[in-house]
Structure formats: C-alpha cells, structure tokens
Structure 1
Amino acid sequence: MRQEDPVAAGAAAPPELAAMRRALVLAARGLGSTSPNPVVGCVVLDEGGRTVGEGWHQRSGGPHAEVHALAEAGEDARGGTAVVTLEPCNHTGRTGPCAQALLDAGIARVVYAVADPDPAAKGGAAALNAAGVQVVGGVLAAEAASVNAAWLTAVRHHRPHVTWKYAATLDGRSAAADGTSRWITSSEARADVHRLRAASDAVLVGSGTARTDDPQLSARGVEGAVQPLRVVLDTEARTHRGARVLDGTAPTLIAVAEDTPAGPLDTLAEVVRLPREGAGLALPALLAELYGRGVRALLLEGGPTLAGAFLAAGLVDRVVGYIAPVLLGEGPAVLGSAGISTIDQALRLTVTETIRLGPDLRITAETAAAHTAAAAADAADTAADTEPRRETRA
C-alpha cells in the first residue's frame, strides 16, 4: 500500500546501516572533483540484503552515484534496496533524474541519509513514493551531512564552505622570532595538508603569505587529485612575476582592489577586481566570486591577518589545526585580530575530531553555526534509528 507521506523515517535494517556506512566512504572519494555538485555514494542491495552494486559521483557532469551502482548491480537490483547518502534527485540537467533511474531498475526500497535542500533537484523521495517505492530518510544523517558539508553550506548560504587550516607550535606560534617556519610540523602532517587541498575546490592565501612563504599551493603526492584553484588576495597587485603560484601547475586567480590599475600581473594570471573594505578587500564579494566559479569547498591557508578577518566576519565554518610538540616562546601568533577584545566575545568551537599524525596532533573543530546544523542533522538521524514514524519531509 502506498504511504500517505513521501518519506517514512524508521529503523534501518542492519544490512542497510552497513551499506550506508560504506556509501559514506564511497561519497568521500568525490571530494574535490564534483563541485558544484554534491558528493554522493550509493550501495545497491538485492532482495536478500547482499551488496550487488556500488558507486559514487565521480565528477561534475558525469553519471550520479545511483547510476554507477545500478549499472554494476544489473538485474540483481530488481526488487532490491538502494542506499544513498543524499535523497535521489528529481531533476534533469546534464544527466537524468536518479529517481527515475531507480524506478526503471525496479528498486523496491530506497534508504537515504540527507534530504536534498536544492529546490531544483529535490522531490525524488516524493516521486519514488508516488510510484509505490518504500522510502526511508534520515539514516546516518549527521555523518552524511559532515561529508557533504561544503555543498550543503553552499546551497543554504550561497557561498563556499570555508575551512581555516593552520600549523602551530604547542605554544601557538606560527614561526620563530626571526620569521623562520620550515618545518614546524612533521612530514606526516604536511602530507595530510596535501590531502586536505585535494579535497578542496580552491586554496586561498593573502599577499603577505604569498610573498613571505612563496607557496605553490598545489596538491602533491595525492593520486588522481584534481588541482584546486589557487587564489591570492593581493589588494595592491604586488604578486611578483616569479611567484610559485604562477607556475602553471594549477589554475590561479589573483584578487585585487577594483581601483588598482592594470599592470604586468594582468598578463601573468587571471585577475579579478573586487571592492575594498577597510585595509583589504570585501570578503563577501570574494566568496560570491568564488561561488559563481563553482567553488564549494574553500581552504583558507592565509596568515594571522587574513584568518582574523575571516573569523571577524563570521565566514569560517571549520578549523583544522596541526599542532606540533614544539615550543618557540617568541614569534608571530597563529591568529591576529579577529574582532575579539574580551573573554565574553571568544569564539568557542566544538571539536569533532582529533588524530595523531606522526608526532603531531590534528584537531578539527566547527564554529557554532556549523555545529548547530550538524546537531540538527544528528537529531534527525536519532529519530530515524529509533521508533518508526512518518514525516512529510521530501
């Protein structure tokens, strides 16, 4: 009998929970290569609960996760279950709607984690339900929302999700008193930074970091990595001709003030002119520019001044700190002014992960707004894994 509501949030069977965990792993393989689309993983189970197909969204414009998994499953999908990290789309763009692909394959049940908030693509659950398919939503929603945090942030706020990454000593120094900073962290931590870059669409630094450290900002040592867009916030267009960010390894965008006259830099890289704000450029305008270019995950690797400006503007969603068991005493602090003058204004974060990398520690934390969104997804997940009920979410 067809359900009255498009989605029933109920307890998933053990094979479905295992399949969703596997689908989350598959989805993460698409980080850095699917924007402006989401990362999605899918596992198809046959009628007996055995895995017969797996897939993930591999690149923007390519087949979606469900299509890959159904192709691998073949006729074994008929009468089976599709477990997907995101509600199947109901939209025809460069590819057809996944909801229809599931119907054509004879899928009898669909279990998904996160409802699609995109007005152009949502509605797959309702379409499947209307065709007689049993639909369960909210399974491992918090975990799925975390994997897809960049895309979900972009859909809801029309800007990229911003991760501020830094490396520091145990006493919070980013360099020694004489300015030297190579290497504070270990080779294991530095390799992890390259993986973080590979999972991002763009990497951003300010002109100070570009001049002092001359970083290349590419993702090295990561097999199959799609190189992120390298962005330099250079208000007065002072990036020098021999800078490594201009070496052609990856695309580069230089953001300068809109009143900066054309100069040699315009012939060396793509230059975008943005309005001034205070001593620098308007950060909302920068994020709007990057959003329009399809950037959904932005990695901020700037120095203390740029990091402070982003935090003061409330534009940081996640912080990833690489902490080395090193003491320097004097030297520049990892964070400059962030508009905080009293303890009551302190930005208190929620730690979501701690990992040892060689001798170092990587700490990941979310800002209040990002954590609130994750908590809401967690509440939906809890409801989905307890007492069966019905809801009208589509």
Structure 2
Amino acid sequence: MTPEHRTPARTSRVTELFGTEVPVVLGPFGGVSSVELTAAVSDGGGLGSYGLYGYGAEAIRNTASLLKEATARPFALNLWVPDGSEGTPLPQADFDRYVSTLRPYFDELELPLPQMPDAYLPDYGEQVDATLEARPAVVSFVFGVPAPEVVEEAHRRGIVVIGTATTVAEAVALEAGGVDAVVASGMESGGHRVSFLKPAEESLVGTFALVPQVADAVGIPVIAAGGIADRRGYAAAMALGADAVQVGSAFLATRESAAVPAYREILRSPAARETVLTRVLSGRLARGIPNRITAELTDPARIAPFPAQNWLTGRFRPQAAAQGNTGLMSLWAGQAAPLIRHDSAADVLAELLAGAPA
C-alpha cells in the first residue's frame, strides 16, 4: 500500500502497544490467510494478522520470512492453544465410520479416501518455538491462555501477546495469564467460536454485551470483534469501551484475500444474510454461511470430534474450492457480512476509520 493510500493515524492504547497507526486488526484466518492481505493491512497502518493453524515449524518460518519481505510494518502471527484432546487418536473403526459418512463427497470430487494419519496436527511446542523465533511484533492466541513460559519468552523477545475471549471470565483469565491485550469476540463473529472455559454453546455473548463488560473487568486494552464491517460498527465498538476493532469478513471479501473467487462472491451475495453455527466442517462450533454439507450432515453422531473432522474434510475442501463448489467448502462468515461493500483492503480500512471522531 503506497503512502498516499495510508489511512490517517488514530492513536489509542493499542496503537501504542503494537506500534501501528490505526486501531484496526485483521482477523486471523485459518486456511485462508494470505501474505498479500496481511501486508496490505499492516502497510495501511493497522495490524495485519496471519493464521498458522495446521502449519508446521518450517512452514511458519517460511511464512514469517515472506511477511517480512512484504511489509516493514508490524504484523501478528496467530496460534491455537491445544486443550489436550488433539493428540487423542481415534480407534480405527471410528475413523473408518466417519470416512464412510464423507465418502459421497470424496467420490463426487474424484478423490481417494484418506488413510488414518499418524497425527492430525503439527506439534504445538514446535509451532510456538518457530513463531517466537520469527519475532513478529505480535503473537495472538485463540482457544485458551498461553502457558506462562510462552508469554514470558515472548516478552523477553519483545513480542506483544494477544489473547482471545468469548466471555468476561475468559478475559479475566487471559489478563491473569499475562497477555498484553484481549480480543472480545462476540457471537456475531465469523469462523470458530474460540471459547475455552465453558462449551462454546454456553459462551454465546453478543458483541454489544461483551465489549463493555470486558472493558470494565480488565485493565489491558480491549479489541472488539464480531459484527463490525463498516464505520458504524467501528464507532459503536469504540463507544462501548474498545481500544481497537478486529475485522474478518469485510477483509476476507477483498481481492488481496486468499479466499477463492466463488467464496468472495457468496460473501457479497444474498446468501450471506443467513449464517449458522455448525460443527460439520471441523468438529468445533463455527459460524458460516449454510451450504449443502451443513444441511446434509445434521446428525451429531456422524461428525468426528475435532481435530479429526477438520482433518477429514480438509482432504476434500481444497479440491472443492479449486472447482468453485461452494456446497462442499467452509464458508466462514460473520453476521455483518451483508454490510460488505469494498473490494480492497485500503478501502475497508478507510471505511472503518470514517467512523472515528474528527
């Protein structure tokens, strides 16, 4: 992004903490993050973020190197905190049963049925080590409180730490865990509900209720997320006590995004007026635009637990995306998706900042 397209500086506790110019954070996307979009938001004065779900250590190092080549501005790398269930293997009979449920989709896309892997996810410790070695300006976490030694090592390296909360209790736990800022993620947010103290279904607090309560409960900066896509959402979040906003869907629909054209088109279509909370695609509760697969797999007994379900559907979702088959893709989207109007990251930033006081 060229200097003439950079949005005017808007200082807050968050901009001072991150070394950015405007209090806007790009939501980290698992699977559809792009170097181009992350760099565009950072170059525009905000904090670009890149989701590292499923990345091994070498991929993390390579991604961080590409980001540093693409932007000299601060950016964040995002990790999922494990809850201990990720390493539990499925019995072969259960794995085969879940594969059988998904077989029609593999057959339709002319893909072979997958064999049970040795592991569904890379080693979390190796992910953390590679991320901290890369020294991004910020590292953000979802699904839990990072371990004290991780926070301590991040701070030793001069890295700011963000946690993500879906309830006030989670925000308080994150502050006690030493994070420097907290994202208050309202239930309107697209993608996974990143709850960790109680089940996600019991942690569905709306942004307007969550943000002011979190702002009252913690002393660290608060970043509002959920239902924010234009200047009105930005202004409302700041009025509620947020120090910054985090925006996902509006940036996901831009040309800099890694979302395939069919995904970007459906985000701008009347279909985006309806979203559902579903475990079908990953085994964890997430908000997205309903499609064929979410309608067909309605029996919870046919859905593997996370991360097995995410791994299994991940064997055919890329092929579906390549074919523009939106019926078999993860169409994560927030409830503010119908407010999407802009096609570039620069225009989204300008629209958001138009909600700031003169």
TM-score, normalising length: structure 1: 0.29
Say which structure is richer in strand. Answer: 1
Higher relative contact order (CA 8 A, sep 6+): 1
TM-score, normalising length: structure 2: 0.32
Say which structure is richer in helix. Answer: 2
